[in-house]
Each structure stands twice: as C-alpha cells, then as structure tokens.
Amino acid sequence: MSVLLSPIKDVHSERRLFLARVILAIVVSLLLMGTVVARLVHLQVIDHELFAEKSQGNRVRIEPVPPIRGLVFDRKGRVIAENLPAYQLELIPEQVDDLDDTLQRLAAINLIEFEDIQRFKDLSHSGPRFKPVTLKFRLTEEEIANFAIQRPRFPGVDFRPRLVRHYPDGELVAHAVGYVGALSTEDLQRLDPASYAGTSHTGKTGVEGSFESDLHGDAGYRHLIANARGRQVPSDTSELLDSLPVDQTPAPGANVYLTIDLELQRIAAKALEGRRGALVALDPRNGEILALVSAPAFDPNLFAVGMSTSQYRALSDNPDRPLFNRAVRGAYPPGSTIKPILALAALETNATNLTRKTICHGYFQLPNDDHRYRDWKPEGHGPVDLHDAIAQSCDVYFYELSGEIGIDNMHDYLDRFGLGTKTGVDVGGESSGLVPSREWKKNNFRDRDNQRWYHGETVIASIGQGYMLATPLQLAAAAGALATRGKRYRPHMVAAVEDALTGERRIVQPEHLGDVEISNDFYWENVIGAMHDVMQGPRGTARAVGTGAPYEMAGKSGTAQVVSIAQDEEYDDAELEERQRDHALFISFAPLDDPRIAVALIVENGESGSGVAAPIAKAIMDAYLGFSDDAS
C-alpha cells in the first residue's frame, strides 16, 4: 500500500504571486505619481494666474484711509466746526515689555488717568499686538514737550500727527451743532463698516449727528506690503511697487452751512450765562433757526479729543445737566404764553367776543366748589376784556372761559400751532411735549377715576399748567405762526450742503406747513394788538422792557409754577429754595407789521417772565434788527 505526499513548498506559485504584487505596486505608484504630476501641472500651468493673484493678495494688505470730515459754517460763512492737526499718544503692545508698569508711569506723569488704565489694557489685548492703541487723541504742547524728554523711558509709546475735530467757539455751539465722539459698538452696528473703515469718530448729536452722512465723506484705501503675520514690511524694489494695485483717494465730506447767526448765538448765550434755561430765535417767514442756546452747556471739544472717565462723570453727574439740550428736549409747562392762541380759540368757538368783560377779583371758583384758582395778581385786575386779559395776563378771564372753550377745543387749536407734536426740526433728539385731551387721559391712565377729565383740569390748562408741556422750540414756532397770522414753516437749522471738491451747493428749501385758518382776520389783529400792548402798551406786563424802543414789537410773558401750595397759603419766591421757584417764559416777535424774528425762551426758576425773560428776548430782537451795539 502506497501514500501520496504534497510538496511542502511551491516555488513557482510564490514567484508568480510576488511578480503580480510587484506589478500592482508599480502600477499604483505610477498612477499616484501621475496624479501628483497632473496636479502640479494644473496648479503651476493651467491655474498659474489664479494662484499668482492669490499670492499677491497674501502679501498685499489693504489699509483704509479715512476721509476728511466736512466743515460747518454759520449763515455768514464763519467757521463753527473745523479739523485741526494734532498729535495723539499711541502704544504698540508688542514693543512694551511690561504693559501695566508702562501705563502706571504714564499716569504718574499725567498723560493718562489712573482709572483708565484697565480700559487701555483691555484694548491692548483685544487686537493684534502690532496694532497701535490710542491713549490720548490730542496732546498739548506742554504734554508733547514733557513726553519728548522722557521718551527713552517708554519704549513702544510715541505720538503721531492726525486731524481732530475742533469747535472754535466751544460751549457756544455745543447744543446747536452737537459733537463728534469715538465710535461705539452700537455705532458700528448701525453704520456701514466699509464706509467707516479707518474712521475713529462719528457725529453723535445736533447737526454733527443728523448730517453725518454728508459730513463724513467716503473712505479710501492704500495697498501695503505685509508678511504672513499681517505686519507691514518695506518694499525695496520698484518692480514690487509697480505690481501693487492703484490706491483709492478718500472723498472728503461735504461742508454744511447753517442758518445760525454766530453773533446772535453769542449774545443769547451771554444773556443766559449763569442760569439754567433755553432760547430759540427763528425767522417766521421761512423757519430758519437764527439762534439755539441751551444753558448751561459743555465744551464739545472734550468729546472730539476723548475725555477721561472722571471728566465724563463730572458732566453727567452735574445737577445742572449741561449735556441736556433744553431747547429741543426740555418739556416745560408753557404758562400764560399760550393765552394768545386760546384767545383765538375762544373767538372761533364763540366762547367769548371782543367786547365781553369780566370782573377779576384775584381768584376764580367753580360752582359748588370751595377751591380758589388764583390770579397772579392777588388784588385782581378789575374789569377786563379779551384784549386786556392778554395784555395784563389776567388768569381769571381765562379761567372763566375755560369751561366754554373746553379741553378738546383747546387741544385742537394748540395742535394747529404745533404744540404737543414734534416740529420735525432737522436735528435729532426732539421732544414732543404734551397737549392733553379727554382721549389722551383715557388712554394714559389705568384707574377709571383717573381716566375721567375734570373741569378743574380744564381750568388750569387754560393758563398752560397741569399736564401741558411744550419745548422752547415749539413755543418759538408757535410765536412765528402768530407773527405771520397763521403761516407756518418747519423750523430748520441747515441752509445748504456744499460739495467740498466742486463747490456745488444743495440749498435746503423752506418747508411750508399747513396754515392756521381763522375765520375773521380781525381776530388776528386784535390778539396781536394785545400782544403788542404787552410790551408797549400802558398796562402791559412787559411794558418796562418795550416802552421807548425804536420799533414795534409783540410778546407774551409766562410763569410756570414748579411747586404746588396749599389752598389758603401764599408763598414768597424769596422764601423758596432756588430750584423750587417759578420758571420764567417769554415769546415775542418783531417788527410788528413785518416780522423778521420770533423768539421763545425759558429761564428755569427765573420767577418772572416779564421781569427776567422779556429783557433777554428784547436784547435778541435788538441785536438782530440792528438796534444794539452788539448787533453784527
């Protein structure tokens, strides 16, 4: 019996398998090498231009160039806002060994504030370390000299030239023109990032804010050679320079011409110096604002050059509120300044006539009510008609008319003169004021009893008290409408916008609003005649101011009570704290037959509209009409 045995090793089979594997490896290697070669050919030959352009983009950095901000002029071409060269203090974080020590020593020599150190440290860590951080936007000559001596002690800190916004008249134009300030996070969210690339400031308030799009201009850019980390490096060959794209020059902002008269503004500011209050003067024929002052004011240059935390806190915590624009945002009880408008309302609604007389005993009482509504003159005015009630500002006459006019008619006629609604002036931040009505009260109170309108509320509304509020700008516009016998124009502060390169001007045309329609022109003449007698009549409340003037004028005083008093008590302003005394208001216009200026102002806690506010209004009219040594 025999057994068949398999061979232990098949050499021929192994050789065939090995050869097959070698051939497969060679084929795969050739395919992979071919793929690499093909890709290299594609990258270096076919897509050469594409990647050459991308390579150029990696080494060329585009740096934005901010535009030069447009200038602001007054109506006579005098500069109100300009750009001046200045030096700013900068720190480059990567060149500073000990950031905290450097900032501490800069604060020790009064170049920065100690309380701002943490803010600067945060800024230093928020971006590339080779990017400079601005520590101070404007250095004085003394600060430059002081730092120049000690510069070797501060590696990585230096100053460089730049343009900064400057307001030659400072506080004088703060609330009219506004100011520019450093860009905030909120600003960056609402503004176009491309247009504001490289820009550090933007208009915040006033004309600077409202006409920001005109004043700012368009940003440009330039191309720089940079390394892989984004840092600029010198380009030392002409070939490299020639290969750079063409830079784009920034377009400067437009120049803005205002309707403001700088000299009139100066006189108004001086008249309110040391007081809290506001004044607006405008041309009733077209709505041009001639002067707009809010006192006290602030220096807008502080915002333009960057203020310290302590400086801003001093402004914001000041009880006199210098940052608050009282002229367009301050809402005050208008007091008796609304009596001429209510007189027209009474005539139009037949609540009274030109001959009806009332005996003023110094107070008024509603039927079956013991409460006395007092006249400003305790002993009363005696018999008065509508003309006398305006000229002498008799409260009792209007108390008695109030029920016959009614609060809704009051609202209607005051609304026709623009009270209780924003004027639409071309600077932002305006308050609407308030003229109450039955509907208003119903919609603004939850309690049913408070939603009811009471007769007593109509009584006090007839002398501009209670819920009623108006801004000085609204009162000036209303005075302008009285001056023109009902023709109304929207108040505006910008007269023209000028292209800085071509000089072409875009003129801002007056906007005519709806006229106040009164059925009988004689009503206008009677009411305006009574306003004339306020200042130049024998018994007018402001006759001491207007008598003997070389031109005819009209006005109406007002006093707004700040604190209430008990029924049977009287108070003397001298016994009250200064901030509890009555506000003094006045509206006026001149010349009487061809009005060219209308003025409204309030002096907070000024006590007397005719004694304190009226002389200021007359001084403004004197200056503008050329009857004053201060007139320009």
Contact by Cβ (8 Å): 348, 413: yes
Tokens representing 466 are 């209670």
Nearest to 541 by CA among 602, 483, 611: 611
Residues facing 87 on adjacent strands: 161
Which residues touch 212 (CB under 8 Å, ≥6 apart)?
202, 203
Contact by Cβ (8 Å): 255, 70: yes
Which residues touch 431 (CB under 8 Å, ≥6 apart)?
328, 329, 330, 331, 422, 471
Cα dist. 246→26, 57, 60, 72, 604 in Å? 53, 14, 12, 32, 59
Contact by Cβ (8 Å): 390, 531: yes
Cα dist. 354→390, 533, 563 in Å? 12, 16, 34
> Counting runs of H as helices and runs of E as strands, what totals does the chain give?
25, 20
Nearest to 320 by CA among 359, 364, 276: 276
Residue 231, φ and ψ in degrees, nearest 5: -85, 140
Tokens representing 544 are 């001491």
Tokens representing 455 are 């007769």
Contact by Cβ (8 Å): 586, 561: no
Q: Is 308 a catalytic residue?
A: no
Which residues touch 70 (CB under 8 Å, ≥6 apart)?
214, 215, 216, 217, 252, 253, 254, 255, 256, 500
Nearest to 479 by CA among 418, 533, 408: 418
Nearest to 154 by CA among 211, 91, 206, 80: 91
The one catalytic residue among 336, 393, 402, 437: 336
H or E element: which one contains 83?
Answer: strand 79-91
Which residues are marked as active site? 336
